[in-house]
């Protein structure tokens, strides 16, 4: 089973700054993490860290640290009582990459059995920081030695893998991506090939998004939509033809996806996005594109942002029209990162708006088909995919301040970058990186649109 460690970027940078502050001398910290158990992978999501104070060392020299159990014992007790995993982090600031030393190995062999004795039934681990990269190991209760993690992910405005790697990662360039590689580089193309995207909603915007993901060369997409193709969808679903009427959207889309990118490894889930199975599948993704206009669904998926540290790109479009006359076209694309505000903090899918939607749709029975135009959907979808592309490859470079959202005015024909203010919703902090330690909200049995 693969093992991975995931950090939110702000927390990672704070931990790194602490561990490297005394370079070339070493520093240490205790990290508490939530555990996420997937079918083929176990992830530890970093929730908090505690720098070891001077009084927390039983012994200390430039290259040797002995953390006193009198200091770390209470943190281990919290792990035991609250369900967290315990990781001992330290630095080897004298090298760019990080390698566990013989001292680390010996210390770990002594420490881990005691951690499992005190806080059983979960993983524990260790992390060592070099000046640029890190190495990490995770232990499961049945292990006799820790296994090296396959990825150590830092998820923020951009996501990156900071695990120390050796040897060449060069790969033959596929000619079909030649023009793209000229823009994004071989590394960018490799990152696109490796990223796992979740896509919620295969309607007007989602269909464009999915098609572009495939043309970009993204092999692994988890599609969630439980609707079938109706005749009224054929004006805007870019994967559908009249022959597909009545078929499931996820089936038709993923078939088209394989035609575009034959080595696709997509997962087509005909599920209510609020079901536990759908949320578990989405929690495994590296990033999610939310392309549903249902606020309840968006608020549910929003929980994965902080609880499972999965960045989200939220895309939506509203056309106000009466009797064939458009009065407003408003779109919004928002990039949400684990250490930043969520949809609820931003007021985009706050409880009041969600309650209003529920009342309108399910109590009064009002569910009017919204106007939708393929070309307008395409604008929103393209901006959303560009955001994803930048998240994965960093193609837009080091801008001083990247906007959180883009707002589209379809009547005037412009896109504006905005940086909205946010009010903490209170839930984000509570569930931050809690992963499987905290249950996901229970769903009601209402389908996505």
Partner 1 sequence: MPTAHAKPIFIDGNKYEVTEATLTGAQIRTLGQVPAGYRLFQDLPGHEDRLIEDSTIVEIKPGEKFYSLPLGQVGTLLIANLDQELAILREEFAGAWRDEENGVQHIHVPDIALPTSVWNRAQVELLIQVPPLYPQQPITGFETDADLRLVSGAQPAGTGFQPFHGRQHMHFCWNPASLQSGWRSLVEYVRFCARRFQDQPL
In the bound complex, what is the minimum distance in angstroms from residue 31's beta carbon to partner 1?
12
In the bound complex, what is the minimum distance in angstroms from residue 102's beta carbon to partner 1?
4
- Nearer of residues 76 and 284 to partner 1, judged by Cβ: 76
- Nearer of residues 119 and 312 to partner 1, judged by Cβ: 119
In the bound complex, what is the minimum distance in angstroms from residue 149's beta carbon to partner 1?
17
Q: How far does Cα 213 stand from its chain's mean position?
A: 16
In the bound complex, what is the minimum distance in angstroms from residue 262's beta carbon to partner 1?
40
- Nearer of residues 28 and 163 to partner 1, judged by Cβ: 28
In the bound complex, what is the minimum distance in angstroms from residue 78's beta carbon to partner 1?
11
In the bound complex, what is the minimum distance in angstroms from residue 152's beta carbon to partner 1?
17
DSSP state string for 96-158:
SS----HHHHHHHHHHHHHHHHHS-SS-EEEEEE-SS-EEEEEE-TT-SSPEEPSEEEEESSS
DSSP state string for 155-181:
ESSSEEE-B---S----PPPGGGHHHH
Q: Which residues bind partner 1 (CB under 8 A)?
A: 24, 26, 28, 58-59, 61-70, 72-74, 76-77, 88, 90, 92, 94-97, 99, 101-107, 110-111, 114, 117-118, 126, 128, 130
- Nearer of residues 101 and 443 to partner 1, judged by Cβ: 101
- Nearer of residues 67 and 216 to partner 1, judged by Cβ: 67
Half-sphere exposure of 202 (CA within 13 A, CB side): 34
- Nearer of residues 167 and 246 to partner 1, judged by Cβ: 167
Q: How far does Cα 33 stand from its chain's mean position?
A: 16
Cis peptide before 138 (omega within 30 of 0): no
Q: At what angle do helices 69-82 and 102-118 cross, to 10 degrees?
A: 50
Which stretches of 303-365 are assigned E, i.e. beta strand? 312-322, 325-336
The answer to whether the Cα torsion of 300, 302, 307, 310 is positive or negative is: positive
């Amino acid at each position: 089973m693969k093992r991975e460690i995931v950090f939110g970027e702000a927390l990672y940078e704070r931990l790194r700054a602490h561990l490297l502050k005394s370079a070339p001398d070493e520093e240490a910290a205790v990290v508490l993490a939530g555990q996420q158990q997937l079918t083929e992978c176990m992830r530890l999501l970093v929730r908090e860290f505690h720098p070891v104070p001077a009084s927390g060392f039983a012994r200390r020299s430039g290259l040797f640290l002995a953390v006193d159990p009198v200091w770390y014992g209470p943190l281990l007790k919290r792990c035991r009582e609250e369900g967290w995993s315990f990781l001992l982090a330290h630095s080897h600031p004298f090298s760019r990459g990080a390698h566990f030393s013989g001292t680390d190995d010996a210390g770990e062999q002594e420490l881990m059995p005691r951690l499992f004795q005190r806080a059983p039934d979960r993983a524990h681990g260790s992390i060592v920081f070099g000046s640029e990269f890190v190495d990490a190991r995770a232990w499961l209760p049945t292990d006799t030695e820790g296994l090296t993690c396959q990825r150590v992910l830092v998820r923020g405005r951009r996501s990156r893998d900071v695990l120390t790697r050796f040897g060449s990662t060069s790969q033959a360039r596929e000619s079909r991506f030649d023009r793209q590689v000229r823009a994004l580089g071989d590394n960018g193309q490799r990152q696109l090939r490796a990223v796992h995207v979740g896509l919620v909603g295969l309607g007007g915007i989602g269909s464009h998004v999915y098609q572009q993901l495939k043309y970009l060369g993204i092999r692994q997409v988890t599609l969630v939509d439980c609707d079938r193709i109706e005749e009224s969808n054929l004006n805007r679903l870019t994967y559908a033809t009249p022959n597909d009427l009545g078929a499931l959207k996820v089936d038709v889309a993923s078939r088209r996806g394989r035609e575009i990118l034959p080595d696709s490894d997509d997962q087509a889930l005909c599920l209510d996005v609020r079901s536990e199975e759908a949320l578990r599948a989405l929690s495994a993704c590296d990033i999610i594109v939310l392309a549903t206009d249902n606020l309840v669904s968006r608020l549910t998926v929003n929980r994965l942002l902080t609880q499972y540290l999965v960045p989200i790109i939220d895309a939506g479009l509203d056309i106000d029209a009466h009797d064939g006359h458009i009065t407003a076209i408003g779109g919004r694309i928002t990039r949400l990162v684990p250490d930043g505000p969520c949809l609820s903090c931003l007021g985009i899918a706050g409880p009041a708006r969600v309650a209003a939607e529920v009342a309108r749709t399910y109590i009064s029975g009002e569910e009017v088909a919204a106007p939708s135009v393929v070309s307008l959907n395409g604008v929103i979808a393209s901006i959303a995919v560009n955001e994803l592309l930048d998240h994965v490859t960093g193609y837009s470079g080091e801008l001083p301040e990247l906007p959180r959202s883009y707002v589209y005015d379809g009547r005037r024909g412009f896109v504006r970058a905005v940086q909205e203010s946010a009010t903490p919703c209170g839930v984000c902090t509570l569930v931050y990186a809690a992963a499987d330690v905290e249950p996901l909200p229970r769903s009601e049995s209402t389908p996505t649109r």
